[in-house]
Amino acid sequence: MRKIILATALVSSALTLAAVYGLGYAALPSRVLIDNARVRVREVTYLPGVPRDRYIRPTDQVIVFLDDCRYERTDSKTGEKTVRERKSGEVLWHDRAEDAPVLTNAGSRPYRTLTIELK
């Protein structure tokens, strides 16, 4: 029975990673809220100390912060680290093919964003 439970947990984790691998969210819990021909909306949870991998944005994106947060941003070109703070309700725009740097939640609690990808 233990083997079945462990195998199920591993398969579930692998499927989650496979679903978001290549989009920078491999280490972060996320769930797709809408996915159709025109838009994909994903809720992403940033856990304390867990980095979001660097990636190249595959589409234009709108990011909506659902919680107040503090995160460390590592510039992909220079390696410079800066800490940024965002308030719940803040909105950012990112262009397709833009570099999405490594982000790490610098707070003590998880925070959530909505990533809206325009197809």
Residue 7's pLDDT band (cuts 50, 70, 90): very low
Q: Which helix (H) or strand (E) holds 20?
A: helix 2-20
pLDDT at 27: 66
Residue 29 phi, psi (nearest 5): -65, 135
Distance separating alpha carbons of residues 67 and 17, to the nearest angstrom:
24
pTM of the entire structure? 0.76
Compute φ and ψ for 79, nearest 5 degrees. 80, 0
pLDDT digits (tens, 9 = 90+) for 26-80: 568 999 999 999 999 999 999 999 999 999 999 999 999 999 999 999 998 899 9
Output the domain CATH number for residue 64.
2.60.120.10
Q: How many domains does the chain have?
A: 1
Domain that holds residue 109: 2-118
- If 0-12 CB within 10 Å is exposed, 13-18 middle and 19+ buried, where does residue 111 land? buried
The answer to whether 104 touches 71, Cβ cutoff 8 Å, is: yes
**Residue 67: closest CA among 44, 50, 49, 51:** 44
CA distance 9 to 86: 34
Q: For residues 84 and 42, what is the distance between their CA atoms, to the nearest angstrom? A: 22
